[in-house]
Amino acid sequence: LPPADIAAAITAAAPCAAPGSLRALAVQLRPRHFHATFSALWRRYIYLFPLRRPNTHPLTTTATTTTSPSPPPTESSDCSNSGNTRQQDGSNTCSHPPRSSSSSFPTSTSSHPAAPASEPPPHPRRPPLPPEVFTADPDPVLLAAQLRQLQHRRLDFLAAARDTPPGKDGMCTLHLARCFVAELPSRLAGTAVGGLKTGVPLAAAAAASPGSPSESNVVEAVRQDNAPVRVLCVELV
């Protein structure tokens, strides 16, 4: 088929006037030995991730910060002014039990030398993840800064190219790596999706006629009709 006929067929199946429809931007003729993996000089990937809060900006403070464990109290913090009790002779006595030096540090006869107090334990316990990690959106500015560190670097893409024959070099240069928030065109208000229209109550749509789709199908159709238009885009070239 000529490239013009292929472009016309795609345009007829998905008119450009409908927002969110596929469009054939360019159709080119290639020989049979052309392979998308080994014949292309460069490729461009765009990943679209729907945002959990499409109508608001992503929360940069809750999505990028994690709770850290509080530092262990020192000897001076254990005995604060509010926790001290003054004896009759004028000396201060800490209300907390005294901390034994032998329990925190080994004696001089131990075979292992004492570790400095500033060093963390051998296997520190990882702090629990805050609930914002699973509910908030990622920070596009922070993610873009991390992706920029990979630009103009040769990376091994052998794990991503599963069709690469053994012994072939999988090193490629990442020319562009960026992240941004974009808005996709939403569906037209009132367009039918699976026999339903936007704004139709779920109960009325489910009981509209005998033999109507199940409630789960109705929910899925309404969800598709009201898809979020704000997405997080990751572009790799």
Q: What is the mean pLDDT of residues 172-187?
A: 82
Write out the residue range of the structural domain in which residue 20 sits. Answer: 1-30
SS3 35: coil
Q: What is the mean pLDDT of residues 126-146?
A: 81
221 is a domain residue:
no
190 is a domain residue:
no
Distances in Å between the alpha carbon of 92 and those of 75, 89, 98, 101, 162? 14, 9, 13, 20, 72
The pLDDT > 70 percentage for the chain reads 44
9 is a domain residue:
yes
| Least confidently predicted of 51-60, 78-87, 128-137, 215-224 | 78-87
211 is a domain residue:
no
Instruction: Summarize pLDDT for 11-35 with one digit per residue, the tens.
Output: 787 665 565 666 777 888 888 888 7
Task: Give the model's pLDDT for residue 200.
Answer: 42
pTM for the whole structure: 0.45
Residue type, 36: A
Query: In this structure, are residues 128 and 66 in contact, taking their beta carbons and an 8 Å threshold?
Result: no
Distances in Å between the alpha carbon of 160 and those of 168, 170, 171, 178? 13, 9, 11, 19
Domains of the chain: total: 1
Higher pLDDT, 20 or 173: 173
Query: In this structure, are residues 44 and 237 in contact, taking their beta carbons and an 8 Å threshold?
Result: yes
Residue type, 70: S
Distances in Å between the alpha carbon of 176 and those of 44, 48, 237? 9, 16, 5
